[in-house]
Amino acid sequence: GLLGFPISDEMPVLDANGHATPGRFSRFQGGTIYWSQQTGALETHGEIRNLYEKVLGGPRGELGYPISDEKTWPGTNIRYNDFQKGVVVWSPESGARAVTELELYLSWVRAGSMDDGIFDSSCEIITYTSVWVDGNCIEQDRRRPSGHAGDSYNIDARYPFASMRAGTDIRFKIRVDDWDQCSDNDYLASLEKQFDITSFWGMDNGADGVYAGHPSTHKSGDAPRLNTVKYDFRISPPSLLDPKKHFRVQAWWRFDNPKTEKLSREMYANTFRDVDVTGNWFEEFLNPFDSLFYELAYDQLAAKGTCFGMSLEALYALNSASLFAEPIYRYPLTSATQQVLNLKHGYQIGASSIRWIIHELTNLEAVRPTQVLARVRELLARGERALISMFDLSDFRGHTVLAHSVLNTASPPRILVADPNCPWTEAANDSSYLEIRNNDTFRFVSNDTVRYQSQTIVGGLLPGTVMYHTPFYVLDGQPRTPFWEIVQGLSLLLGGVLIVFGDAATEGLKGDGADFYSGADRKVRPNGIPGMARIPLLDAGPQAVELYAQQGHLARKIEMALKGVKNGQYKLNLRSATNAVVISLPIADQARDNVRFSELRSTRPLVEAATTEELKVGGFKYAVLLDDRGRDYRSFDVTLQIAKKAATRIGAAKYGPELIIENPGPARPLAIRIATREAGEVKRSVVKVAADMAHGAIRIRPQDAATVHGNLVVERLSSIGGGVLRREVVSAKPEGQ
């Protein structure tokens, strides 16, 4: 027969202490028969027997006794043995694998690419979940949340399945509706999945059961495509770490730091919960900062790697809040894995992260290496872990690692870390660590190479290389952009954000007369502008980006000295609670520009730009998002000249849609693009000013104060704030005419 002749007597099964139990087994040429009073006599053979006996410990291991002979699943070449506490499955492609219990984890539902129309450009989703096992319903149409979410929602539901069998059949359905205040909710889409032995219960997908960005299986007419609504979920054994094994061979990734040249706009919308449908012109109009923040700070954020994302997702997994179950070392680098890491990598420039960085960098005690060591020790004592970020002040690019333990026996003490650039190998052992020296400096060593090392803190200045820690609670939820906190008027959280991008570098930055940064000594004075910090961009791309943020009330006056690093262009963006300013200028190599923002706590800041170049032309976009009388959104977009011996200025009146400009250089006509929101309606027009009226100081105001899109009075002034030299009336034309 199948087993051949016996090659042993019937013998007792021994327990862990070597004592005989009532169970029995006999070995044969082709397999083994096991007997217990509860199960009877059943056989195992081949690779299933080898795994069961040699790896899983046989009857005294986690599976117990067999409860079936080895069989073939109908219509397939899959073979299996059921056991008391699980099943072993064999296929030609994967060999023998055991599963004792599974967990279905339903995570994010995202409808960020759904356009719900003007004034409601994103959906407000509601989910209904149903789960069945072996035909039995364990949850039916459970609604989450009780109200409604935005265009994304984390279901965060777990369903355990114990004592798996070959015939276990798991099925779930997620229905997604769009909440509607005025009428019945609209059905958008749904996902239905079934898992059984033929797919190894969903774990044969090439990503060990992780599904990120999975499209819908059904949709309504309101969802243009099946991938309009996407889902993140996982099916796998529950999270489990072995305390006897090394941290990095379990709770860290087995692959090197992956790169993504450009992060998509869809990824941007999925990262931040206040970013609506990207590409919708109405949203671009109302929230210009969303698009700018993507272009200036976000899209190249992972071009050199995802160190922050890898470290943060590993921290999420340790806190049972990840799409990945421990041990995460088992997961390969797939498109789904990288998608999740990219998303988490963007959390570093979310509002909560920026507020934390400001708190740390403006408090010199917090960035002292000995203090970081003390804080990490406190967290570890509570069973928590933290991220540690390091960066150089020369370019504010840096690296993030996960601190997992402290080696107190070393001298000086070491913080042992998991490094995205150094996956576990037996040879590497604990070769990634931060050495905290007695003189309050640190040295970061990875693979026997010193990557970062600091100097002492002297005279209230940040040292050339800085480290700080970030605990999990700072980053434990989907972030908002800094824009959200500013536009909501939460000035004690973030008063303003300033971004420089392109071929210019900051040589100096002052606020209300106090120095924050000087290019001469490349030193940052944390208390130079109270509450301001330059935010490091970790693993960002080759294009230099400077991101500054201020907590508390924005300085009244900010002045930036900029130097061209090559012949090219740069953009400068300032965002406050009431205004957004975007300056786009060419700059020559080694040329100097000076940009000043004054009256920043009003709704009508004055913007001034000067240059060492003879003459150049650049774009100025000046938006008033909310004026002193509560009227919202008007923007002016104009191309102005900047001359060597005269500053260019642009500003708005305190009330109403009035614009003042000082445009030096030779006379040339101006075209001013105007956009407003009036009575719930978006209006856009263009006003053209003749050359003889368009240079020097000019003021533009509407004849009818109710609208800026009719006749406008253009006045040439002797100076900003001076008398009127000449006055003309021009008509604003609808854009495109």
532-578 pLDDT, tens per residue? 888 988 888 777 788 988 888 888 999 999 999 999 999 999 988 78
Residues whose CB falls within 8 Å of the CB of residue 302, separated by 6 or more in sequence, listed in order:
259, 260, 263, 309, 342, 345, 539, 541
CATH for 102-238?
Answer: 2.60.40.150
Q: How confident is the model at residue 579 (pLDDT cuts 50, 70, 90)?
A: confident
pTM summary value: 0.89
Upper half-sphere CA count for residue 254 (Cβ side, 13 Å): 12
Q: Is the pLDDT of residue 284 over 70?
A: no
297-313 pLDDT, tens per residue? 899 999 999 999 999 99
What are the extents of the domains in the chain? 11-72, 102-238, 265-349, 352-475
Strand residues in 455-605 grouped as ranges (E): 465-471, 496-502, 504-511, 514-518, 523-524, 532-535, 537-538, 545-550, 558-564, 568-576, 579-587, 592-598
474-513 pLDDT, tens per residue? 999 999 988 777 666 555 577 788 888 889 988 889 999 8
* Among the listed residues 168, 218, 212, the one whose alpha carbon sits nearest the alpha carbon of residue 192: 218
Q: Report the pLDDT value the prediction gives residue 280, as an integer from 0 to 100.
A: 46
Other CB atoms within 10 Å distance of the CB of residue 460 = 11
**Rounded (10°) angle between helices 335-345 and 307-318:** 100
The residue among 141 and 222 whose pLDDT is bigger is 141
Instruction: Give, in order, the Cα–Cα distances in Å from 249 to each of 97, 315, 334, 365.
Output: 20, 15, 19, 34
Q: Report the pLDDT value the prediction gives residue 119, as an integer from 0 to 100.
A: 43
Neighbouring-strand partners of residue 344 = none
The DSSP H or E segment spanning 685 is strand 681-689
**Lowest-confidence pick of 40-49, 214-223, 609-618:** 214-223
Q: Is the pLDDT of residue 155 over 80?
A: yes
SS3 75: coil
- Chain centroid to Cα 55, Å, comes to 40
Residues whose CB falls within 8 Å of the CB of residue 632, separated by 6 or more in sequence, listed in order:
625, 626, 677
| Distance in angstroms (rounded) separating the CA atoms of residues 623 and 578 | 8
β-strand pairing of 670-678 with 681-689: antiparallel
Mean residue pLDDT of the chain comes to 88
606-632 pLDDT, tens per residue? 999 999 999 999 999 998 876 655 555
Q: Cβ distance 23 to 60 under 8 Å?
A: no
SS3 268: helix
Residues 636, 637, 640, 645, Cα dihedral to 10°: 50
Average the pLDDT over 104-117 and give the result.
78
